[in-house]
Chains A and B, each alone.
Chain A
Amino acid sequence: MSYSELSQKEKTQVLKKLREEHAETVERTQALVKKQNTIRKDIRKALADESKTVPEIAVIIDQPTHEVLWHVSAMKLYDLVAEDGMKDYVDVLYKLVEEKKK
């Protein structure tokens, strides 16, 4: 039987059981997601007023520039930030994209 054929109650139970079976992976990944969410929140805050470059964001949120770029590129991929021109011809400026109401 596939997951889609289960009732809602059964789905909840299956996910719970799988989370127990994959406890180590789930714990590690949850920690990763928590860290990602904290950094993304900080990036959003840093971009709240005006567009900024990766080095500028890195200084504000106290994270290495390569990590900030990774997060910004991830946010850009899923339409959470967008490019907003260049600064001094070498640094890309990023701005927040307003989230659509779901």
Chain B
Amino acid sequence: MDENKLKADALVVGGGIAGMQSALDLADQGYQVILVEKEPSIGGKMIMLSKVFPTLDCASCITTPKMSAVANNKNIRILSYSEIQSIQKNGSGFIANVLKKPRFVVEETCTGCRLCEYACPVDIPNPFDLNIGAIRAVRVPFSTAVPQIAVLDMDNCILCGKCARACPVDSIDFLQTEKEVEIEVDTLIIATGFETTPIDAKKEYGNGKLHNVIDGLIMERLLAPTGPYARVIRPGDGKEPESIAYVQCAGSRDETLGVPYCSRICCMYAIKQAMLIAGSLPMADITIYYMDIRTFGKGYEQFYQNAQAMGIEFVKGKVAKISEDENQNPVVRVELIDENSQIIERTHDMIVLSVGMIPKYNPSQVYGVNVDEFGFVKSPTPNLSSTKTNQPGIFATGASTGPMDIVDSINSASAAASSAASYLESVRNGK
């Protein structure tokens, strides 16, 4: 079989929780699926999380089996470290041109033993830990990565050859180049996910320069057992914080950032993290500065009440500014909404900005799908079939269509798979 020309029933773009669920649902119905992921591993944002709300289940314990199920499903082929370059209509189907980036590691022989990683002399900021931890220039992306194959970062390589000498199966290949792959499919699902609003977006909140002001995703990594420090400490100086505050709506409901919408997940992830911190640092004071608490899902309001009962302080107020004292302690200037708009200053050891969700990728040019004013995929029938796009045969799911939590992403992914399966059958039956 020509490895540069592939054929399948469906192409799923994005290997996060939504993309994986769509791929599995289609594969379980017998359809051949190709899953394209631009990172070296599937798993998306969810594999980076510590636990999920409102059940406080371990995120990795849910995501890892899902990743494994995708990898071991005979009807799914993963193209990792690959990006869609263009899509052309091909009758009722599509031809996708995919660029497979070089790993500089032979995928077929690499066993993921990490001996290359241990031999590499170059430490670089670890993208999986949002750059607060370190990793080597050649590495397996993270412990549960799928595929469990190393990747060499040529932009940070001194070409010393130590990795090649350490590899027991001669998998390092400095001569590898990018490959173009053509994929012929009948239907396509966009599951390109989200990005968080940048931590330096709001200049008043330290401009991303205060080491002890972090965002919610970094706190997820600090809380995760596989995180950069394997404990919650301040990135500024390694001290265990005794007072942690959350600033809500730090990247959502804010016209000045061009993000006027509510990101839907921030209240819940802040409450979840506060509860987890209360568990790991029982002596710490935790404060959440909020405008409104929005607990829209099943069991979410009870979760919020449990957090209050645990002693987490909820302060209705709008944080105007975050500065830093001489000990790297963040100082918040906050207007207390329920106390005659009184303005106070409070010092904490660490601040977590509850940043919002923005689309990771604008698919309008490549896929010809309509997007809304914020760049999320827009369905022509949002109330009847929210995963449909204006392009017949192309469906969209998860956070590529708008802010949503994990539960809703999985539901949306199954809906997209169902719509894609219906489309496949209708095309094949000539309807």
Contact = CB atoms under 8 A, between A and B. Distances in A.
Interface string B144-181: 00000000001111111100100000111111100000
Contact of A65 (B137, B175, B228, B238): B238
A90 to B, nearest CB: 5
Nearest to B228: A73
B144 to A, nearest CB: 16
B123 interface: yes
B57 interface: no
Interface residues of chain A: helix, strand, loop or mixed (majority): helix
A25 B155 contact: yes
B211 interface: yes
Contact of B134 (A55, A66, A73, A91): A73
A38 interface: no
Interface residues of B, number: 41
Interface string A53-77: 1110010000001101111111011
A32 B173 CA distance: 24
Interface in A21-67: 22, 25-26, 29-30, 32-33, 36-37, 53-55, 58, 65-66
A97 interface: no
B233 A92 contact: yes
Contacts of B106: 2, 4
Contact of B175 (A3, A22, A68): A3
The dominant DSSP class at the B interface is loop
A2 B235 contact: no
A101 to B, nearest CB: 15
A99 to B, nearest CB: 12
Contacts of A72: 238
Contact of B238 (A14, A53, A74, A77): A53
A36 B242 CA distance: 31
Q: Which of A11, A22, A65 has the most CB of B within 10 A?
A: A65
A15 B133 contact: no
| Most chain A CB inside 10 Å of its own CB: which residue of B121, B164, B211, B237 | B237
A36 B237 CA distance: 18
A30 B171 contact: no
A71 B228 CA distance: 11
A42 to B, nearest CB: 15
Give the interface size class of chain A.
35 or more
B203 interface: no
Contact of A32 (B122, B133, B175): B122
A90 B231 CA distance: 12
A25 B152 CA distance: 14
A65 B236 contact: yes
Nearest to A86: B240
Nearest to A54: B238
B92 to A, nearest CB: 40
Contacts of B155: 25
Interface string B25-59: 00000000000000000000000000000000000
A29 B122 contact: yes
A15 B161 contact: yes
Contact of A29 (B134, B156, B161, B176): B156
Q: Which of B170, B231, B238 has the most CB of A within 10 A?
A: B238
A78 B118 contact: yes
B174 A18 contact: yes
B367 interface: no
B261 interface: no
A15 B174 CA distance: 8
Nearest to B242: A90
A24 to B, nearest CB: 10
B229 interface: yes
B236 A19 contact: no
25 contacts: A1-B175, A2-B175, A3-B172, A3-B174, A4-B106, A4-B173, A15-B160, A15-B174, A18-B159, A22-B159, A25-B157, A29-B157, A29-B158, A30-B158, A53-B238, A55-B238, A69-B238, A70-B125, A70-B132, A70-B134, A77-B134, A90-B242, A91-B238, A91-B239, A92-B233
5 cross-chain pairs, A with B, having the tightest CB-CB distances, nearest first: A74-B134, A54-B238, A4-B170, A65-B237, A69-B238
Given A70-B134, A91-B239, 18 more contacts: A1-B175, A2-B176, A14-B174, A29-B157, A53-B238, A54-B239, A65-B328, A66-B236, A69-B229, A69-B233, A69-B235, A69-B238, A70-B132, A74-B133, A77-B228, A78-B118, A91-B240, A92-B233
